[in-house]
Amino acid sequence: MKKILVINGPNLNMLGIREPDIYGKQDYEALCEYIDECAKKLDIAVDIFQSNHEGDLVDEIQAAYGEYDGIIINPAAYTHTSVAILDALKAVGIPAVEVHLSDVSKREDFRRISYAGLACEEHFIGLGFEGYKKALEWFVK
Ligand code: DQA
């Protein structure tokens, strides 16, 4: 059975409250339940981690070394700023897929840059919760 780690960055724990026009009305718990359900159907073992702190995200990526077959990452705002997260993904060399709920290509210019995305083999952007499902499916293909 494949072991996949899902990593979610800052403010994703505020889903349902934060900018519902952009991120939807469902809360973070609903996202985690959705990911768990999708993983079960695909026969994937999944762990989900969320933090608002850049260093904690780096620590979690490092700790995944030798433990997981893949990483699904939505670094949230750190997508557009964090070379540390990019370097951590490169350091562990675990196949990674980038997910964003919203279509970052159609928002502010600064959201068009993705550092973490440079270390990711696939990207599912602007599909809402379904992006995580597509990312899980990518790992079984
Ligand atoms: C996000 C997009 C980012 O630009 C933003 O900072 C987020 C969420 C998304 O999932 O659409 O916090 O990663």
* Digit-coded pLDDT (tens) for 104-113: 999 999 999 9
The ligand 1 atom at the shortest distance from the C-alpha of residue 126 is: 11
Reported as a pLDDT band with limits 50, 70 and 90, residue 141 is: confident
37 CA from centroid of ligand 1 (Å): 23
Collapsing DSSP states into helix, strand and coil, what is residue 28?
Answer: helix
Catalytic annotation on 132? Answer: no
Q: Has residue 91 got a pLDDT over 90?
A: yes
The ligand 1 atom at the shortest distance from the C-alpha of residue 75 is: 13
84 CA from centroid of ligand 1 (Å): 17
28, 68, 100, 132: the catalytic one is 100
Please report, in angstroms and rounded to a whole number, the separation of the first and last CA atoms in the chain.
Answer: 13
Q: Using a 6 Å CB cutoff, which residues line ligand 1?
A: 11, 74, 76-77, 79, 100-102, 104, 111
Query: What is the mean pLDDT of the segment spanning 124-134?
Result: 98
Mean pLDDT score across all residues of the chain: 98
23, 68, 78, 132: the catalytic one is 23
pLDDT tens-place string over residues 28-77: 999 999 999 999 999 999 999 999 999 999 999 999 999 999 999 999 99
Contact of 85 with 51, CB cutoff 8 Å: no
Q: What is the pLDDT of residue 44?
A: 98
Task: Collect contacts of 22-28 with beta carbons under 8 A, ≥24 apart.
Answer: 22/101, 22/102, 23/101, 23/102, 24/101, 24/128, 24/129, 26/129
User: What pTM value is reported for the model?
Assistant: 0.98
User: 3-state SS string over 84-109?
Assistant: HHHHHHHHHCCCEEEEECCCHHHCCH
CA dist 13 → 7, 92, 93, 104, 120 (Å): 12, 26, 27, 19, 23
Query: Thinking of the domain 3-140, which architecture would CATH place it in?
Result: 3-Layer(aba) Sandwich (3.40)
Q: Using CA atoms, how far apart are residues 123 and 131, in angstroms rounded to an integer?
A: 9
Element (H, E) at 39: helix 28-41
Reported as a pLDDT band with limits 50, 70 and 90, residue 19 is: very high
